[in-house]
Amino acid sequence: MLRPLLFLTFAWYAAQAARAADPPLMPLPVKVETASGRLVVDGSFSVAATGYTDLRLEAALNRFAARISRQTGIPMLAARPPNASRATLRVECAGVPSGLGAQDPSLGEDESYQLDVAPEGARLKAATVAGALHGLETFAQLVGPGAEGFRVPAIHIEDSPRFPWRGLMLDVSRHWMPVEVVERNLDAMAAVKLNVFHWHLSDDQGFRAESRRFPRLQQLGSDGDFYTQAEIRHVVAYARDRGIRVVPEFDMPGHTTSWLVGYPELASAPGPYSIGRTWGEFDGTMDPTREETYEFLDAFLGEMTQLFPDPYFHIGGDEVNGRQWGQSASIQAFAKAHNLEGASGLQAYFNQRIQKLLQKYGKIMVGWDEILRPDLPADTVVQSWRGQASLAEAASKGYRGILSAGYYLDHLRPASYHYGIDPLAGAAQKLTPELASRILGGEACMWAEYANAETVDSRIWPRAAVIAERLWSPKEAAADGTSMYARMEAVSRVLEWTGVRHRANYGPMLDRLAAGRPAEPLRVLADACEAQGLGTRARAMKYTSLTPLNRLVDAARPESESVRALEQAASKLEIAPLREQFIRWAANDARFQSLAKDNALLAELKPLSKDLSALGVAGLRILTYLEGRRPAPKTWLSAQAKELDRMLKPRNEVVLAGVRPVKLLLDELARRRK
Amino acid sequence: MLRPLLFLTFAWYAAQAARAADPPLMPLPVKVETASGRLVVDGSFSVAATGYTDLRLEAALNRFAARISRQTGIPMLAARPPNASRATLRVECAGVPSGLGAQDPSLGEDESYQLDVAPEGARLKAATVAGALHGLETFAQLVGPGAEGFRVPAIHIEDSPRFPWRGLMLDVSRHWMPVEVVERNLDAMAAVKLNVFHWHLSDDQGFRAESRRFPRLQQLGSDGDFYTQAEIRHVVAYARDRGIRVVPEFDMPGHTTSWLVGYPELASAPGPYSIGRTWGEFDGTMDPTREETYEFLDAFLGEMTQLFPDPYFHIGGDEVNGRQWGQSASIQAFAKAHNLEGASGLQAYFNQRIQKLLQKYGKIMVGWDEILRPDLPADTVVQSWRGQASLAEAASKGYRGILSAGYYLDHLRPASYHYGIDPLAGAAQKLTPELASRILGGEACMWAEYANAETVDSRIWPRAAVIAERLWSPKEAAADGTSMYARMEAVSRVLEWTGVRHRANYGPMLDRLAAGRPAEPLRVLADACEAQGLGTRARAMKYTSLTPLNRLVDAARPESESVRALEQAASKLEIAPLREQFIRWAANDARFQSLAKDNALLAELKPLSKDLSALGVAGLRILTYLEGRRPAPKTWLSAQAKELDRMLKPRNEVVLAGVRPVKLLLDELARRRK
């Protein structure tokens, strides 16, 4: 038993507590009470299950002990003690509710936990292993160096998720993501309590799962880059161990070019087909009118559904351009004969047929917005890339839904943008509680047109942690953007210990660009830049899946931490760090130009670098005006404002984010003039 | 056929060519001729064997193609073309000399290669797969971004090693090194043409190999951290694929405490024994007088020699303190009866017995200096931690030897120090060519008292590359330290693509110290510091193998690249970068103190940080004097000199290396006064 803690009267609820000094937790728990004192974490630290246990929990405790050891650098020989009751952290798991599988995570299971940390020890209580897993991650986020060594502050936490479906979709088709990329991202997902891995396994650019029934799918449709069935089973088990459901997606009847390379007979127009190398909507579409198509898919789904234990199965169903259907006389005749109106009618027919196949194999169908048509069974789940209105409509028609609009990580929007998107906002706000409960949650989406195995982690993390918080924490709790960024920065570092390389890949990519020479001038430039997402890149040049992703835009972050710090300094008029940075920028171009000599990868950045130095010079002059008594000349002010606006326009698919703090200072200067 | 190249009249030999503008190759080849033009490396790049080939070469070509793709970021779908004669890089391997195994690398095999790169294509010629592997690594080092994209400059290289035995010893006993640490270091070794992995598998602190005959060795002697036999076979195959021989070391009869935990009957004094947690010479020593000892070792060596195909087998034999032998009446009686003088006599007897066992199993014995006693067979190899004199003595007695004195990486000496150590210098210089040829080469040694899986890479790399050059390149070629450092910095970055984490582990370790907050002020301090090695750390505090290695000294590098750049700037009186850095240092302490608040790991560094800022202030003042006309006051100069000397003393097991450039400037100032 833990001795009763004398909690401070300052007990706070997360709703009121969004301050930068908060425990660096993401997602924020439902209820947090801090107390005085701390639990020491040293070489004698240990963890054990004192209640229900099973292989999954035991494996989790082993991983947890190794993780704490890695995170702190403290060797822990006896982290799993023989005598459970003496463990530093005791995990009391009530066990698995009867009727549910002991191992597989399931939608809607009890994920709550309660964590009590006192100087004498810590106790984690949970109804299920899933809850225990979440509590362990919370504990891990709390471990850090304090005044007397590593410790966890004394704390009482009660926690449970707001939404039961909190996912990350990963596109492994546009660019191939090897198993280790999936593994490390599953570890990171678990760290922020995401519980659905939506695996986008096929698209025009690659068919990534081994089929033994139809081996030409992967043999001809993947460039040799696909997951074997053994690897798929491994990933499913790996995810399950971390409390994560795996929902596979085989996108159909559109986005199927890679299937058609090996099986052109599935298509609505004669082949041959070749693997897609560009993006967008391709014409190749399955023929919804031939029985052979359904025979193929029956056998295919029969095989694939056996690999994935989760009841939910995603069939995509998005972006069918209908061109092949429109051009085929036989398909048009079929549509007419069956009273199917246009492409959407044909697709609805297709979906109904697929749904029946899935039902036969015990699966519940999930699809994108487009699948929503009458006659689908009520258990169908709609994933919305359109928005809350689409979800609300689905809910009022009896369907369940998950939100992805606003959660597209590949657009590289700021974390604050995603943070502002709520599944129950907008049209969904007006739903009755019963209808609202049909909105199960959401999924962050990582489409991979402009990301590969090297860069994808930095496109997902840490921003996905903010979406995880939006989906887990009480709506009111997760409101304050300032606390959000401070906590996101902390969690970004904790995530490093899960193995994701969102921070680690920066250095090597800059080194590559710098041709083996010290990359510091490039780093100064890259730190001041932010990578642009899908829209800008699609307009910038004709990308294919074979275009190298080795430029500044691929190394640069969607949001610059150091620019954010400068913005904060500028808003508080903290002059010293600003001046120091401006001096560095001003001096940087000469060094950058020397580094960029005879370097094709850096050549495009020369004007950008010149602007950064000009920005530094302008910043220094603004500081001089701010400190002096003389007001800045009006014409100079307006010329500067114009120049900054020019500099803020995306170039080289990045934005010179360093302009923003200078603009803040210039605005302040203009204000003073008035 | 390649078209004949019009080589520039400026053809240089490596001996004359040690300039910073050289191709960034390490080790330097025997002969390099540059030509005009370049070979483009883009998505169409391919490689193939056009002569002899085997599984090992094919695997190497696959790895090479993947490596070039990773290093450049260019996807290469067809890197292994179906039509070999059209490959961008054609590998003509003459094949394996008859009588040698096709797969296992062997001491003294032909490692030479010739590489010709022209705009139309490249050709690599080698007598053996070993030579081809080296040539591929040279090519990989030459790939970099040029004025028009990735390319290799046109070049003609003829190359072969100076010494046949070029090793890295890794101690996996003091701290456990998992298989992946070994793997990535083998990849890095191959990148700099090291060809012997000396695996120090047992010591007082851990027995790291699975024995099925004597399972208590690993069960009780390793804390559960050992290599299974399957893993050992995997590592041997992994090394073989990379042209690297594996020489295992089981240190005996001393340094055997970990054996004695499970088998105390081997010892010269009654047990029980427990795993060593501290360093130094332990008393636990095998009993050389009991036949049961040799029966055990006969069975043990019979088992272990089957795991390692290389003919050389290392029995350690160092640092027997002889205490147990001296205290045992029966052992003393045995020594007297057999005319064995003291501990060294007993050890010689032991070695002879072991040598006969090894001979029975077809192995040639290798041991440290101490094994060198008359009556050992002439094929014995002596590894010297004592120096060239010891090697020369061994050679003149007919033995072969390898040098490790001066190559102890764990002492964290500068690369230039190791670079200055030549196996054939000193006493070895006077040997006849025939005797000198008995000096087979050398081995860099990585003892692991103060390194673990997280930190070991940065203790080995990039400095081991310099030792690799010393052992590969012609003596005269590898002479110029300036070129050496420039090339080492380039190769350090190339090594990142092999997977070693010598650069990658810096950020996470600083992040850990900074408790999840932006670590920049700590990075500024760490960049100005250099970690101290074994000697300083042994004096600093009582370390055990359970002491966390998570402090600044563990994150900091043995040599600071940025300080080296400042020293170069100071020696050329390039004021701008110095001023910028001094300003940063001067401002850093305030930020550091804020970061260090309530942080036990950073608390010890507060005085160091204060000194860094004082150093910045002093540096700025020196620059002012250097730029001005007024000479610096004499008293101020001497006070500063004294202060800098104080600051140069190691503290917190690091040295404030940033003092050195300031000292250079101060010396210049003092010179001007005269």
pLDDT tens for each residue of B512-539: 999 989 999 999 999 999 999 999 999 9
Task: Mark out the alpha helices in B514-560 (DSSP H runs).
Answer: 520-527, 534-540, 552-555
Residue A246 and residue A197 in contact, taking contact as beta carbons nearer than 8 Å: yes
| Euclidean distance between CA atoms B190 and B188, whole angstroms | 5
B594 CB neighbours in chain A (<8 A) are none
Residue A403 and residue A441 in contact, taking contact as beta carbons nearer than 8 Å: yes
DSSP string, B323-385: HHHHH-HHHHHHHHHTT--HHHHHHHHHHHHHHHHHHHTT-EEEEEGGG--TTS-TT-EEEES
Cβ-defined contact of A24 to B493 (cutoff 8 Å): no
- Give the percent of chain A with pLDDT over 70: 95
> Residue B78 — very low, low, confident or very high, per pLDDT cuts 50/70/90?
confident
Please give, rounded to a whole number of angstroms, the shortest distance from the CA of A83 to a CA of chain B.
18
Q: Is A517 on the interface with B (CB under 8 A)?
A: yes
H helices, E strands: number in chain B: 26, 19
Whether B667 has a pLDDT exceeding 90, the answer reads yes
Cβ-defined contact of B561 to A518 (cutoff 8 Å): yes
Whether A6 has a pLDDT exceeding 80, the answer reads no
| Euclidean distance between CA atoms A284 and B405, whole angstroms | 68
Question: Between A and B, how many residue pairs show a Cβ–Cβ distance under 8 A?
Answer: 146
In chain A, which residue's Cα lies nearest the Cα of B562? A518
Residue carrying structure tokens 């272990």 = B304
Please give, rounded to a whole number of angstroms, the shortest distance from the CA of B454 to a CA of chain A.
9
Cβ-defined contact of B598 to A550 (cutoff 8 Å): no
Interface test with B, best of A225, A601, A606 (most B CBs within 10 A): A601
Residue A623 and residue A582 in contact, taking contact as beta carbons nearer than 8 Å: yes
| Euclidean distance between CA atoms B201 and B174, whole angstroms | 10
Cβ-defined contact of A507 to B507 (cutoff 8 Å): yes
Average pLDDT of the segment spanning B601-606? 97
Q: Tell me the backbone φ, ψ of residue B92, rounded to 5 degrees.
A: -100, 105
Helix B575-596 and helix B561-571, axial crossing angle in degrees, nearest 10: 140
pLDDT of residue A19: 40
Cβ-defined contact of B146 to A584 (cutoff 8 Å): no
Closest CA to B176 of B424, B387, B421, B452: B452
Interface test with B, best of A40, A72, A77 (most B CBs within 10 A): A77
Q: Is A631 on the interface with B (CB under 8 A)?
A: no
Q: Is A97 on the interface with B (CB under 8 A)?
A: no
Cβ-defined contact of A518 to B554 (cutoff 8 Å): no
Q: What is the ipTM of this complex?
A: 0.93
Average pLDDT of the segment spanning B121-143? 97
Average pLDDT of the segment spanning B627-648? 94
Of A548, A587, A600, the CB nearest to B75: A548
Cβ-defined contact of B149 to A584 (cutoff 8 Å): no
Whether B556 has a pLDDT exceeding 50, the answer reads yes
Residue A94 and residue A51 in contact, taking contact as beta carbons nearer than 8 Å: yes
pLDDT tens for each residue of A398-423: 999 999 999 999 999 999 999 999 99
Average pLDDT of the segment spanning A195-211? 98
| Euclidean distance between CA atoms A297 and A266, whole angstroms | 10
Cα distances from A51 to residues A95, A125, A326, A400, in angstroms, run 8, 9, 62, 35
Average pLDDT of the segment spanning B543-564? 97
Q: Is B236 on the interface with A (CB under 8 A)?
A: no
Residue carrying structure tokens 């994701």 = A500
In A181-332, the DSSP E strands lie at 196-203, 206-207, 245-250, 312-314
pTM (2 decimals)? 0.94
| Euclidean distance between CA atoms A341 and A321, whole angstroms | 14
CA atoms within 13 A on the CB side of A115: 30
Average pLDDT of the segment spanning A470-486? 86
| Euclidean distance between CA atoms B22 and B473, whole angstroms | 15
Cβ-defined contact of A493 to B516 (cutoff 8 Å): yes
Cβ-defined contact of B24 to A490 (cutoff 8 Å): no
Residue B105 and residue B243 in contact, taking contact as beta carbons nearer than 8 Å: yes
Of A75, A516, A602, the CB nearest to B494: A516
Interface test with B, best of A22, A26, A493 (most B CBs within 10 A): A493
Cα distances from A446 to residues A130, A200, A450, B110, B600, in angstroms, run 25, 10, 10, 50, 39
Q: Is B511 on the interface with A (CB under 8 A)?
A: yes
pLDDT, averaged across chain B = 93
- Give the percent of chain A with pLDDT over 90: 86
Q: Which of A436-445, B5-14, B423-432 has the lowest mean pLDDT?
A: B5-14
Catalytic-residue membership of A148:
no
Instruction: For residue B239, give the H/E element and its range.
Output: helix B229-241
Q: Omega into A462 within 30° of 0, i.e. cis?
A: yes
Q: Is B601 on the interface with A (CB under 8 A)?
A: yes
A584 CB neighbours in chain B (<8 A) are 580
In chain A, which residue's Cα lies nearest the Cα of B603? A147
pLDDT of residue A97: 58
Closest CA to A28 of A119, A133, A134: A134
Please give, rounded to a whole number of angstroms, the shortest distance from the CA of A108 to a CA of chain B.
33
Q: Is A140 on the interface with B (CB under 8 A)?
A: no
Q: Is B583 on the interface with A (CB under 8 A)?
A: yes
Please give, rounded to a whole number of angstroms, the shortest distance from the CA of B588 to a CA of chain A.
10
> Residue B372 — very low, low, confident or very high, per pLDDT cuts 50/70/90?
confident
Please give, rounded to a whole number of angstroms, the shortest distance from the CA of B451 to a CA of chain A.
12
A601 CB neighbours in chain B (<8 A) are 145, 149
B562 CB neighbours in chain A (<8 A) are 518, 520
In chain B, which residue's Cα lies nearest the Cα of A499? B508
Query: Hey, how many other C-beta atoms are within 10 angstroms of the C-beta on B132?
Result: 29
b/e code B319-355 from CB counts within 10 Å (16+ = b): ebebbbbeebeebbebbeeeebeebebbbbbbbbbbb
pLDDT of residue A331: 96
Q: Is A667 on the interface with B (CB under 8 A)?
A: no
Evaluate the CA torsion angle B264, B267, B273, B274 in order and state its sign: negative
Please give, rounded to a whole number of angstroms, the shortest distance from the CA of B467 to a CA of chain A.
20
B74 CB neighbours in chain A (<8 A) are 548, 550
A144 CB neighbours in chain B (<8 A) are 515-516
Please give, rounded to a whole number of angstroms, the shortest distance from the CA of B399 to a CA of chain A.
42
Cα distances from B425 to residues B99, B165, B435, B517, in angstroms, run 35, 17, 13, 50
Whether B165 has a pLDDT exceeding 50, the answer reads yes
Q: Which of residues 21-50 of A touch B (CB under 8 A)?
A: 24, 43
Of B147, B509, B554, the CB nearest to A600: B147
pLDDT tens for each residue of A42-56: 999 999 999 899 999
Contacts of A289 (CB under 8 A, 6+ apart): A330, A331, A334, A335, A346
pLDDT tens for each residue of B461-519: 999 999 999 999 999 877 776 789 999 999 999 999 999 999 999 999 999 999 989 99
B503 CB neighbours in chain A (<8 A) are 507-508, 511
Q: Which of residues 440-479 of A touch B (CB under 8 A)?
A: 452, 454
pLDDT of residue B19: 39
In chain B, which residue's Cα lies nearest the Cα of A149? B600
Q: Is A73 on the interface with B (CB under 8 A)?
A: yes
**What is residue A32's three-state secondary structure?**
strand
> Residue A566 — very low, low, confident or very high, per pLDDT cuts 50/70/90?
very high
**B92, B319, B604, B643: which is the annotated catalytic residue?**
B319
